C-alpha cells in the first residue's frame, strides 16, 4: 500500500474510533486548581490566573467567573479582552462578563465588539451585551442589521437576552417577528421563543393562529400552539376516574381540570387534610382549593398548610401569601412564618426556605436579601480523574431506553455527583414527577413530588458555552448554587434556560422515549455504559 493511502486510512480509522479515550483533562493539576477555586468561589485567588502562561489555563480562569459571577472580576476581564493575544481567552472573558450581567460591563463589551479582530468572537460579545444591557441598549440593537449569518444570530441572542430582562421595543418586536420563517432554522426557533414571550400576555389568539398558519417550521408551530387551548382535554376528565388512577395520574387530573363541582371541591378539601394521602395529591388539592376559596376559608387552609410540617405544603402556602391580596391577620401569620423558617433544614429545604422568606417580606416582615448556600459538597477530584472523558449513562425506563453523553470535562462537579448517585443506584425506581409538553421532563426526586432532595447542594457550573437544545440535560435548582439530585431533559430548544441551570449531559439516543415519558413513568435502572 502506498504511504499516502496508508496515512489516509489511519486518519479515517482514528476519526471513526472512540473519542477521548484515556485520561481526562484533569490530569493537569493546575487546571484542577482553577476548577477547585471556582468551586470555592475564591475570586481573589483566581484573578492572577487570568494572566497564566498557558492559554487553556487563562480560558479556564475566565470561564470560572461565568459561574462565580463576582463583579470584582469586571475590570480584570476587561483587561483580558484588551490585551490577550489569543482569541479564545477573549471569547471566554466576554462570556464571563455576560454571565455576570452587570451594566458596568456594557461599555467594555461595546468597545470590545468594535475592536475584536477575530470574527467568530463578535457574536459572543453581542450576546453578552444583551445580557448586561438596560433600556439604553435597545437603541444599539435597533440601529444595527447584519447580513453575516453568525452576526445576525448573535444580534438575535442579544435581543432575546434583553427581552429576558424586560427590555423590549416595538421595533425589535417587529424585527424578531420577521425572522420566524428565516432560512436559518435555528434563528427562526430563537425568534419564536422571543415572540412567544411577547404575545403570552396579550391574549391575541387571532394573531397566534395566523403565526401558526404561516410558520414553515414545526418547532415554531408547536411553540405558538402552546398559547392556544386546542390540545386541552381536561374537561373530559371525570372525578369518577379518581380511584382507578395512580397517584401521579390523580395529580395530573387535579391540575388539568378547569373546574370541579361543589361536591368534588369538598372531596379535594378532604384529600388536602388527609395526612395518609400521597403528598403530591395533597399539594395539588391545596393549590386548587386555595385558588377557588376566599376569606376565612382560604386563611384556614393556609394556616393548616404552614403547620403541616411538610415543605411542599408550606412552600405553596408561602407562594399564595405572596401572590394574593388576602385579608390576612399578620399578627398570626407572620410569627407562624418565622417559626416555619426556623425549623426548615438547610440546604435540603432551600426552596421552601426561599418561598417562606419572600412571604415574610411580602407581609411586611424582614426584607429577604437572598439565600447564600454554604459550601457543603466539594468536588471529589480523585473520583473525577477516574471518569472517562466520553462517559455515557443509560436510563432504562418503562417506556424504553435513553442514552446520555456526559459533559464531564465541562461540568466536573455536577457530573461526578451525578455518577456517584448512579453508582449507588439512587435513581433506580425514581419517578418522572414533572412533564411539561414542549419543554421538559424532570425526575430524580426522593419524595417523588419534586420537593425532595438530599442534605447537600452543589455549585452551579456555567463555565462552558453549552446551550439548552433538544435533549439537553440540566440540574434542577432553587437558584444559583442550590443544585441537588433532580435533573431534567428538554423536549426542544429552551434558550431562556441558558446560563441559569447547569448543563451536564445531552441525549444521544432515545429522544423518542423522552417524548413519550408521562408523569408517573419510572426510571427502572440508571447505569454507566
Q: What is the largest CA-CA distance in the chain?
A: 90
Query: How is residue 446 written as a grid cell?
Result: 426522593
Distance CA 496, CA 434 (A): 19
Domain boundaries, the chain: 26-225, 234-362, 381-528
26-225 and 381-528 agree in CATH topology = no
How much is the pLDDT for 21? Answer: 56
How much is the pLDDT for 324? Answer: 64
Query: How is residue 281 written as a grid cell?
Result: 395529591
Closest to 59 (Cα-Cα) out of 464, 413, 505, 502: 464
CATH class of 381-528: mainly beta
What does DSSP say about strands 523-528 and 432-436: parallel, antiparallel, or unpaired? Answer: unpaired
Question: Which residues of the chain are under the pLDDT cut of 50?
Answer: 1-20, 230-234
How much is the pLDDT for 362? Answer: 94
- Over residues 230-285, the pLDDT tens digits come to 444 445 567 888 889 999 989 988 988 777 888 899 999 999 999 999 999 999 99
Check if the beta carbon of residue 289 is closer than 8 Å to that of residue 320. Answer: no
How much is the pLDDT for 236? Answer: 57
Q: What are phi and psi of 293, to 5 degrees?
A: -125, 175
Q: What are the residue ranges of helices labelled H in 84-165?
A: 87-100, 106-115, 122-132, 137-142, 149-164
Closest to 507 (Cα-Cα) out of 399, 400, 392, 404: 404
Q: pTM of the full predicted structure?
A: 0.91
Fold of 26-225: 1.25.10
Helix (H, G, I), strand (E, B) or coil at 22: coil
Amino acid at each position: 500500500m502506498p504511504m499516502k493511502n496508508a496515512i489516509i486510512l489511519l486518519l479515517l480509522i482514528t476519526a471513526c474510533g472512540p473519542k477521548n479515550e484515556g485520561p481526562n483533562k484533569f490530569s493537569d493539576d493546575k487546571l484542577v486548581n482553577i476548577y477547585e477555586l471556582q468551586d470555592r468561589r475564591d475570586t481573589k485567588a483566581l484573578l492572577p490566573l487570568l494572566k497564566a502562561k498557558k492559554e487553556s489555563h487563562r480560558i479556564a480562569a475566565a470561564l470560572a467567573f461565568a459561574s462565580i459571577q463576582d463583579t470584582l472580576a469586571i475590570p480584570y476581564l476587561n483587561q483580558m479582552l484588551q490585551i490577550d493575544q489569543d482569541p479564545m481567552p477573549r471569547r471566554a472573558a466576554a462570556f464571563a462578563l455576560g454571565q455576570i450581567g452587570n451594566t458596568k460591563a456594557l461599555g467594555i463589551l461595546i468597545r470590545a465588539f468594535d475592536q475584536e479582530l477575530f470574527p467568530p468572537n463578535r457574536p459572543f460579545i453581542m450576546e453578552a451585551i444583551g445580557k448586561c444591557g438596560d433600556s439604553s441598549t435597545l437603541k444599539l440593537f435597533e440601529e444595527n442589521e447584519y447580513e453575516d449569518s453568525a452576526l445576525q444570530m448573535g444580534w438575535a441572542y442579544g435581543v432575546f437576552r434583553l427581552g429576558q430582562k424586560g427590555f423590549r421595543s416595538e421595533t425589535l418586536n417587529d424585527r424578531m417577528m420577521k425572522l420566524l420563517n428565516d432560512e436559518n432554522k435555528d434563528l427562526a426557533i430563537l425568534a419564536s421563543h422571543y415572540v412567544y414571550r411577547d404575545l403570552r400576555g396579550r391574549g391575541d389568539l387571532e394573531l397566534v393562529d395566523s403565526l401558526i398558519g404561516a410558520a414553515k417550521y414545526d418547532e415554531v408551530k408547536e411553540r405558538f400552539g402552546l398559547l392556544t387551548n386546542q390540545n386541552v382535554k381536561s374537561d373530559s376528565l371525570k372525578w369518577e376516574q379518581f380511584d382507578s388512577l395512580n397517584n401521579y395520574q390523580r395529580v395530573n387530573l387535579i391540575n388539568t381540570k378547569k373546574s370541579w363541582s361543589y361536591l368534588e371541591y369538598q372531596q379535594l378539601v378532604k384529600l388536602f387534610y388527609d395526612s395518609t394521602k400521597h403528598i403530591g395529591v395533597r399539594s395539588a388539592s391545596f393549590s386548587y382549593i386555595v385558588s377557588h376559596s376566599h376569606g376565612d376559608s382560604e386563611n384556614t387552609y393556609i394556616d393548616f398548610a404552614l403547620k403541616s410540617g411538610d415543605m411542599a405544603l408550606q412552600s405553596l402556602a408561602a407562594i399564595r401569601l405572596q401572590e394574593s391580596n388576602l385579608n390576612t391577620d399578620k399578627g398570626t401569620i407572620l410569627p407562624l412564618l418565622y417559626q416555619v423558617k426556623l425549623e426548615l433544614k438547610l440546604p435540603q429545604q432551600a426552596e421552601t426556605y426561599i418561598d417562606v422568606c419572600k412571604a415574610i417580606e411580602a407581609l411586611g416582615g424582614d426584607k429577604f436579601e437572598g439565600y447564600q448556600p454554604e459550601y457543603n459538597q466539594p468536588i471529589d477530584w480523585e473520583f473525577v480523574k477516574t471518569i472517562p472523558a466520553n462517559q455515557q449513562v443509560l436510563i432504562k425506563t418503562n417506556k424504553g431506553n435513553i442514552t446520555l453523553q456526559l459533559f464531564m470535562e465541562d461540568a466536573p462537579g455536577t457530573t461526578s455527583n451525578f455518577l456517584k448517585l448512579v453508582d449507588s443506584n439512587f435513581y433506580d425506581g425514581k419517578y418522572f414527577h414533572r412533564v411539561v409538553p414542549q419543554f421538559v421532563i424532570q425526575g430524580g426526586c426522593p419524595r417523588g413530588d419534586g420537593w425532595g432532595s438530599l442534605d447537600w447542594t452543589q455549585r452551579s457550573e456555567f463555565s462552558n458555552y453549552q446551550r439548552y437544545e433538544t435533549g439537553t440535560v440540566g440540574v434542577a435548582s432553587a437558584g444559583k448554587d442550590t443544585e441537588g439530585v433532580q435533573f431534567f431533559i428538554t423536549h426542544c430548544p429552551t434558550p431562556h434556560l441558558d446560563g441559569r441551570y447547569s448543563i451536564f449531559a445531552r441525549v444521544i439516543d432515545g429522544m423518542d422515549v423522552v417524548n413519550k415519558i408521562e408523569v408517573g413513568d419510572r426510571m427502572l435502572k440508571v447505569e454507566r455504559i
